[in-house]
Amino acid sequence: MTLPKPDSLYVHIPFCTHICPYCDFAKVLYRPEWAKAYLKWLKEEAAQRDCGLFSTLFVGGGTPSALSEEELEDLLSFLSKHLKEGGEFSLEANPESLSESKIALLRKYGVNRVSLGAQSSVPASLKTLGRNHDFALVAERVRQLRDAGITNISLDWMYGFPSQSEEDLRQDIDAFLSLKVPHLSAYSLILEPGTSYAVKGVKPLSDDMQQSYFETLRDALAQEGYERYEVSNFALSGYRCRHNLTYWKDLPYIGIGVGAAGYLGESRYTNTRSLGLYLEGRYEEEVEHLDESSLLEDYFLTNLRLTEGFKESDFKQRFGFSFSSRYQERFDRLSSRGLLEQKQGSIRTTSRGLDLLDTVLLELFD
Ligand code: SF4
């Protein structure tokens, strides 16, 4: 089946005002001369990738709010021309590099969703994470965004990092809930090779403790009406991130910028992580043509992250055969262990299955 044309655009801004010790994203310290040149090449890449109009735009990083006001205006005025009427326009920001005047620019150019890197409310935890804001500033930015009319706000939240106590976690739960934002993304610390944490041999909390912290957090959010709609993402009704749903529903998208990736249905491309190469216009690093087994793996890998799973009719339309004709036996095994279920024509992970997603996927691919 031919998939629709990409309707989502991801734009990577690799600049940060400081580097966090656990970070594995494509990022560099902000330098104005690089930022100016980068924006020029970003527009060039958008033209070469034939970017038209999209239903969702997502500016991520790095730290997009690390750009100067002039650079931010340049970027947003360019991107706003690529947004369809009624589209979702998201931007990631850090509390310390956002400001009232930058928020005014977001509003002016139609950004209608902001994801703030809050991470924790506990000063010692923020220090451990190498963050240089405090939670009062997070609260202040949330207020400023709302005053400017941007109410679709998400907070990034980390848990399960070294030295975090249960009391710290409880404090975070109270603080994050007190801001009443409609979307929360909660991630446990993953020690990626090559990061400063990994080099120093920092150890995260044990898997059991991380799981127990996650359950505490998940239950507290559920009580306040947040729905866990994806492994790490929680939303009040009507506030799921439309852009990220494109990824999780395995639909095509275009990505531009350093380290960005794009999925065009039958192929996937990945851009260079080297700013130097990007600034020479050599942006694309790899193109992978996807055979049926890769397409199936990607389909499960993404859709089973969603609590609603996927419709069997969608699966059949996409692959030309029914899920049960190839996977019934594996489904039965996973279902008997309480990890997968079939409900109202959909295949989905149970709550336990979501927590053991790697196991589910391995057994499906087996
Ligand atoms: S975690 Fe975010 S702010 Fe920190 S270095 Fe990575 S991209 Fe930059």
What was the pLDDT predicted at 24?
85
| Ligand 1 geometric centre to CA of 29 (Å) | 10
Domain 8-247 is in which class? Answer: alpha beta
What was the pLDDT predicted at 198?
79
Confidence of residue 201 (pLDDT cuts 50, 70, 90): confident
What was the pLDDT predicted at 199?
80
Is residue 25 lining ligand 1, measured as CB closer than 6 Å?
A: yes
| Ligand 1 geometric centre to CA of 19 (Å) | 6
How far separated are the first and last CA of the chain, in Å rounded?
Answer: 24
What was the pLDDT predicted at 1?
66
Task: Please tell me the number of Cα atoms within 13 Å of 331 on its side-chain side.
Answer: 17
User: Can you list the pairs that 202-208 forms with residues at least 24 positions away whose Cβ atoms lie under 8 Å?
Assistant: 202/21, 202/162, 203/162, 204/160, 204/161, 204/162, 205/160, 205/161, 205/162, 205/164
Measured CA angle at 105 (ends 35, 155), to 5 deg: 85
Return the bridge partners of 306, or none: 230
Closest residue by Cα to atom 1, ligand 1, is: 23
Closest residue by Cα to atom 5, ligand 1, is: 19
pLDDT digits (tens, 9 = 90+) for 68-90: 999 999 999 999 999 999 999 99
Sketch the domain layout of the chain as residue ranges. 8-247, 309-366
What was the pLDDT predicted at 194?
78
For the record, the structure tokens of 305 come out as 């992250």
| Ligand 1 geometric centre to CA of 288 (Å) | 28
pLDDT digits (tens, 9 = 90+) for 118-176: 999 999 999 989 898 999 999 999 999 999 999 999 999 999 988 899 999 999 999 99
26 or 321: which leads in pLDDT: 321
What was the pLDDT predicted at 341?
98
- Single-letter amino acid, residue 275: L
Is residue 20 lining ligand 1, measured as CB closer than 6 Å?
A: yes
pLDDT digits (tens, 9 = 90+) for 213-240: 999 999 999 999 999 999 999 999 999 9
Angle of helix 166-178 versus helix 207-223 axis, rounded to 10: 30
Quote the CA–CA distance of 359 and 321 in Å, as a whole number. 24
- 188-193 average pLDDT score: 82
pLDDT digits (tens, 9 = 90+) for 147-156: 999 999 999 9
If one residue of 12, 13, 15, 16 were mutated to test the ligand 1 pocket, choosing by the most ligand atoms within 8 A of its CB, it would be: 16
| Mean pLDDT (the chain, rounded) | 95
Closest residue by Cα to atom 6, ligand 1, is: 23
Q: How far is CA 163 from the centre of its chain?
A: 25
Closest ligand 1 atom to 18 CA: 5
Confidence of residue 45 (pLDDT cuts 50, 70, 90): very high
Closest ligand 1 atom to 130 CA: 4
Closest ligand 1 atom to 94 CA: 3
Confidence of residue 336 (pLDDT cuts 50, 70, 90): very high
Return the bridge partners of 28, or none: 15
